[in-house]
Amino acid sequence: MDFKDFSAKLKEKKGQNPETPADRPYDFAEAYRIRAKMMGVLLRDARESAARTIEDCARLLHITPEQMESWEYGDDAPSLPQLELLAYYLDVPVSHFWGMQTSTLNRASSDQIQPEYISLRNRMVGALLRQAREETKLSLDQVSQQTHIDVATLTAYELGDIPAPMPILLTLSDIYRKPLNYFLETSGQIGELLALREAWKHFMQLPEDVRAFAANPLNIGFIHIAVLLSQMPADRLRQVGASILDITM
């Protein structure tokens, strides 16, 4: 649903009605009601896109399901802090709730690509399994002896005909001396999101003072210098260190 179409129709209707006085008093109550209705549509859209129930959202906010339902019908409206929690919980930007576009089309598209994505990723993981096995110069028979998995099943894993369950994939990654990250998706929207979450996890594990330094935009120049230093050959880095030492002595 696109509220832009609705807005355009209202403007067209207003233009066709010459009897509407230009100085008519603005109806604030009606404006609030319409905005609440629009927000209600967006609330329900975000909740359904995230596969959450009214009860789930009510528990999150410590309100009754009836209160949550009244928001979705536009009979009442949440506060900004409540919307912020819902945005976090439903995995949408908070601006979604005062935007002009629902997620229905995106949700339908996402539902259609999920089976294709899983099938494609199974084949990609299978190809990486075969590549890792060949790099370690192990035959399927040798891997079968180490894992007690028959050769036919191992072959099906490598062809992507059947997915390797996670416990088995972890075992194979150990045998092939590959980190599990070797098999992760690294491209496309899903891969980029997963990589971003992993990067955020590592960032949050840094000492608090280091995080504060890195998060300060004024320190970006120092971070660029650190990146350049990390890319220098060891002998060049030693020369730089010696030069700094000469200056400070």
pLDDT tens-digit readout, 194-216: 666 677 778 888 899 988 998 88
Q: Where are the alpha helices (DSSP H) in 16-103?
A: 28-49, 54-61, 65-73, 80-90
Fold: same for 3-98 and 114-183? yes
> Which DSSP state fits 2?
B
Q: Is the pTM of this model over 0.85?
A: no
Distance CA 154, CA 160 (A): 10
Looking at residues 219-228, what average pLDDT do you find? 87
Lowest-confidence segment of 37-41, 96-100, 109-113, 211-215 by average pLDDT: 109-113
CB 204 within 8 A of CB 212: no
- The amino acid present at 86, given as its one-letter code, is L
Mean pLDDT of 219-231: 87
Band of the pLDDT at 242, cuts 50, 70, 90?
confident
CATH class of residue range 114-183: mainly alpha
For residues 87 and 45, the answer to whether their CB atoms sit within 8 Å is no
Least confident of 6-10, 27-31, 32-36, 90-94: 6-10
Going from N- to C-terminal start, the domains of the chain cover 3-98, 114-183, 206-248
Please give the span between the terminal C-alpha atoms of the chain, in angstroms, as a whole number.
Answer: 69
CATH for 3-98 (3.20.20.80, 2.30.110.10, 1.10.260.40, 3.40.50.300): 1.10.260.40
For 10, 25, 100, the CA distances from 17, given in Å and listed in that order, are 11, 16, 25
Integer Cα distance of 105 and 228 in angstroms:
44
Identify the band that residue 108 occupies on the pLDDT scale cut at 50, 70 and 90. Answer: very low
Model confidence at 96, pLDDT cuts 50, 70, 90, reads confident
pLDDT, residue 192, reads 64
Query: Which helix (H) or strand (E) segment is 210 a member of?
Result: helix 208-215
**Whether residue 139 has pLDDT greater than 60:** yes
Report DSSP letters for 168-217, one per residue. Answer: HHHHHHHHTT--GGGGS--SHHHHHHHHHHHHHHHHHTS-HHHHHHHH-G
- The reported pLDDT for the residue numbered 43 is 92
Give percent of the chain with pLDDT exceeding 70: 78
Q: Which helix (H) or strand (E) holds 237?
A: helix 234-248
> Is residue 217's pLDDT more than 90?
no
* CA atoms in the 13 A half-sphere facing the CB of 125: 26
Average pLDDT of span 160-189: 85
- Report whether pLDDT(84) > 60: yes
Whether residue 25 has pLDDT greater than 50: yes
| C-alpha Rg value of the chain to the nearest Å | 28
User: Mapping DSSP to helix (H, G, I), strand (E, B) and coil, where does residue 105 land?
Assistant: helix
Q: Which two structure tokens, joined as six digits, stand for 231?
A: 């890319």
